[in-house]
A and B are shown apart, each in its own frame.
Chain A
Amino acid sequence: MQSLTNISLKTIVIKQVKWKAKLYISALSSLVIVQIIFGILTFGSGSGSSGSGQGSLNVQFSNYSLDMILIISAIWAFIVALLFTTKAHRIDDLSVISSRTSSAIANIFVIIIYSFFAVIIMISTYYLQALGIALAEKNSLVIDNLFISPSILILCFSSICLFGAMGLLLGTIFKGPAVIKIFVSMFILLGLILIFMSPGSINLLPIIMLSNLMISVLYLFVAVLCFSLTIRIADKSEVSRK
């Protein structure tokens, strides 16, 4: 009898990550395009502006920060991760050696790699925007914080990663076993009821008050939790090819 092939899960995951990262590179170009459009739209006003005037004196402040760029990147990560779990991508995975577990792990690694690149794209956008304003604006430009500290970079990475993890988890849940779908739907419903019935019960202030590094650790912890659940659910899921 023909000898059987022994391939480890690790080998397959590495091959899948290599091909997926190469194939879905257009996701990164879509982030660049979105950020360029956003940069043009907010060129004059920044991520927030305020103004006041008295007599002939008129003062207008425009703040340019990473906040909005980060929000866009996080939403992008969520959508891209959700797309990774769509039927088209899942069926593509079946055309090569793979299991649901290997595909889920590969998707997680691709999201982590893309999150890293998304941070680089974010920073580039930020500096390009700052350069553009410095060259184009005749009004005075007060540079408060041009150097982005490593803790902010880590926070950006962990935030994007967290949203990517949530996208993967959500997509996997709704393709997973019916029991999990029902359980999660009930959980979300109860959560919404709790928020609407007693909004004061959820206090995010202690989290906001944490240092950047602590928030990053918290985000990464939740992301790891989402990734683990994604793998666990994928492990139990059947393939629907219809």
Chain B
Amino acid sequence: MNIIQCEELSKSFGRRHALQRVTCAIDAEKIIGIIGRNGAGKSTLLNIFAGYIKPTTGSCKVFNENPFNNIQTAANMIFIDDRLSFSDYLSLEDILKMGADFYPNWQNELAYRMLDYAGIDLTAKHQQLSKGQLATFNLVYGLVSRCALTILDEPMNGMDEVIRTDFYRAILKEYLAFPRTFLITSHHLQEMESILEEILLMDEGSVIAHAPLDEFKEQLISLSGPSDALADLLSETEVYAQKIMAGMTSAIIDASKLFVSEEILRAKGITVSSLNASEVCKYLTSKKGSDIDAIFD
């Protein structure tokens, strides 16, 4: 069942087109990674899902309703990012009390245990926390609210590696204990890959891929072998990246456009290897012909 349905969704801020004709559907009870480079439109899309901003054109339904300024969407959704803020007069303990008062599925005991594990003092104020502690507290706040739609926009920003690893596990455990939809954006895709079920890849305001993780990783493959043997093959397909060194070529190509069997390729000395999700994202979103080395040449 879809909990989010977008049709031809566009959003402009003045002359800047943040989203362009986005059509997508998000299933319930899945952990979905919303991936894209800086300025790809991820946060704009999440802000529309959260009901904070209106699309310029197109439609968006969350829980079958227009989410904009909708109290029912707000009651079933929590949006966690680094801009989450609380009154200066509240200690962290007071914030937890307030959360318990508002969110019907709130897990106060779990919040205490997780914050104790992360070594965060509950008498401190939200503004007094370090960047990493702030991110940890915000993530705990989002997890223990147990909303049907939990949006985490760069939730691990500022956390150290140990806490990041722990909290990926915490997300997974919370998901198993209380299945719900998680939408997570992060630049640490490699770390997060293990908990994701689907990836929605965005580039320049459009969704360029939306598939289960395994299917997504199989979109591109890497071929390496003698340049002569690969030349004909590469001329017939779209090449995402290519490197030639000492007569050997390695190239990243679209797997669906490769019509030659692996046995034939092996016979020609060409090896086929798969890529991880992070590499697929990198190649699908990198601008053609752009090369950082070229700036310094």
* Contact between chains at A99 and B86 (CB < 8 Å): no
Q: A5 near B76 (CB under 8 angstroms)?
A: yes
B256 close to A (CB within 8 Å):
no
A4 & B101 in contact (Cβ 8 Å cutoff) = no
CB neighbours of A92 from chain B (8 A): 85-87
Please tell me if B28 contacts chain A, counting CB pairs below 8 Å: yes
CA distance A95 to B145 in the complex (A): 11
Assess whether B104 is interfacial by the CB under 8 Å rule.
yes
Q: Residues of A contacting B29 with CB < 8 Å?
A: 1-2
Q: In the complex, A2→B178 CA distance in Å?
A: 8
With A4-B148, A97-B75, A238-B53 known as contacts, the answer to whether A88 contacts B89 (CB < 8 A) is no
Question: Is B70's CB under 8 angstroms from A99's CB?
Answer: yes
Contacting pair B85 A88 (CB below 8 A): yes
Most buried by A among B1, B29, B90: B90
Whether A99 and B51, one on each chain, are in contact in the complex, defined by CB atoms closer than 8 angstroms, is yes
List residues of chain A with CB under 8 Å of any chain B CB: 1-2, 4-9, 12, 15, 18-19, 23, 26, 88, 91-92, 94-102, 235, 237-239, 241
Of B3, B75, B102, the contact of A6 (CB 8 Å cutoff): B75
| Dominant secondary structure at the B interface | loop
Does residue B54 face the partner (Cβ distance < 8 Å to A)? yes
| Chain A residues closer than 8 Å to B165, beta-carbon distance | none
Which residues on the B side are within 8 Å of A91 (C-beta)? 83, 85
Q: Say whether, besides A15-B101, A92-B86, A97-B102, A238 and B52 are in contact (CB < 8 Å).
A: yes
Q: Is the Cβ of A239 less than 8 Å from the Cβ of B84?
A: no
Contacts of A6 in B (CB 8 A): 72, 75
Q: How many Å lie between the Cα of A238 and that of B67 in the bound state?
A: 12
Given contacts A2-B180, A12-B75, 19 further A-B contacts (CB under 8 A): A1-B28, A1-B148, A2-B179, A4-B75, A5-B104, A8-B71, A12-B74, A18-B101, A19-B101, A26-B89, A92-B85, A96-B99, A96-B102, A97-B75, A98-B71, A99-B51, A99-B74, A239-B52, A241-B47
* Contact present for B69 and A1 (CB under 8 Å): no
Nearest A residue to B53 via CB reads A238
Interface residues on B, range: 35 or more
B84 x A95 contact (CB < 8 A): yes
Task: Kindly list chain B residues whose C-beta atoms are within 8 Å of the C-beta of A241.
Answer: 47, 52, 81, 83
Residues of B within 8 A of A26 (CB): 89
Tell me the complex Cα distance, A215–B94, Å. Answer: 43
Q: Nearest chain-B residue to A98 (Cβ)?
A: B74
Interface centre among A8, A91, A92, A235 (most CB of B within 10 A): A92
Are A4 and B69 neighbours in the complex by a CB distance under 8 Å? no
Whether a CB of chain A sits under 8 angstroms from the CB of B103 is yes
Whole-angstrom CA separation of A12 from B75 in the bound complex: 9
- In the complex the two chains form, is A101's CB within 8 Å of B53's CB? no
In Å, the complex CA distance between A94 and B53 comes to 13
CA distance A1 to B30 in the complex (A): 11
**In the complex, what distance in Å separates the CA atom of A101 from the CA atom of B71?**
9
Q: Complex formed: what's the CA distance from A239 to B54 in Å?
A: 9
> What is the chain B residue whose CB lies nearest that of A89?
B87
Question: What's the least CB distance linking B46 to chain A, in Å?
Answer: 11
Q: What residues of A have a CB within 8 angstroms of the CB of B95 in the complex? A: 95
Q: Which of A8, A19, A101 contacts B69 (CB 8 A)?
A: A101
**7 A-B pairs, CB-CB below 8 angstroms?**
A2-B178, A4-B76, A9-B71, A15-B101, A95-B84, A96-B103, A97-B71
Is B110 interfacial (CB 8 A cutoff)? no
Cα A238 to Cα B69 with chains together (Å): 8
Q: A2-B178, A23-B90 are in contact. Are A94 and B52 (CB under 8 A)?
A: yes
The verdict on B286 contacting chain A, using a C-beta distance below 8 Å, is no
Q: How far apart are the CA atoms of A26 and B83 in the complex, in Å?
A: 24
Q: Please, which residues of chain A bring their CB within 8 A of the CB of B98?
A: 19, 96
Please indicate the chain A residues that have their CB under 8 angstroms from the CB of B178 in the complex: 2
Cross-chain contact A238 with B54 (CB below 8 angstroms)? yes
Contacts of B102 in A (CB 8 A): 12, 15, 96-97
Complex interface: chain B residues within 8 A of A96 (CB)? 98-99, 102-103
Q: A15-B101, A239-B47 are in contact. Are A95 and B85 (CB under 8 A)?
A: yes
Nearest CB of A to B169, in Å? 21
Instruction: Scan B86-127; emit 1 where CB is below 8 A from any A CB, else 0.
Output: 110110000100110111110000000000000000000000
Q: Which residues of B contact A23 (CB under 8 A)?
A: 87, 89-90
Task: Specify which chain B residues have a CB less than 8 angstroms from the CB of A97 in the assembled complex.
Answer: 71, 74-75, 102-103
User: B63 contacts the other chain (Cβ, under 8 Å)?
Assistant: yes
B79 at the interface (CB under 8 A from A): yes
* Contact call A100/B69, Cβ cutoff below 8 A: yes
Given contacts A9-B71, A19-B101, A238-B52, contact A4 B86 (CB under 8 A): no
- Residues from chain B with Cβ under 8 Å of A12 in the complex: 71, 74-75, 102
Which of A96, A100, A102: most chain B Cβ within 10 A? A96
Tell me, in angstroms, the Cα distance from A235 to B66 when the chains sit together.
13
Beta-carbon contact of A7 and B47 below 8 Å: no
Can you list, as one digit per residue, whether each of B1-24 has a CB less than 8 Å from chain A (1) or not (0)?
Answer: 101000000000000000000000
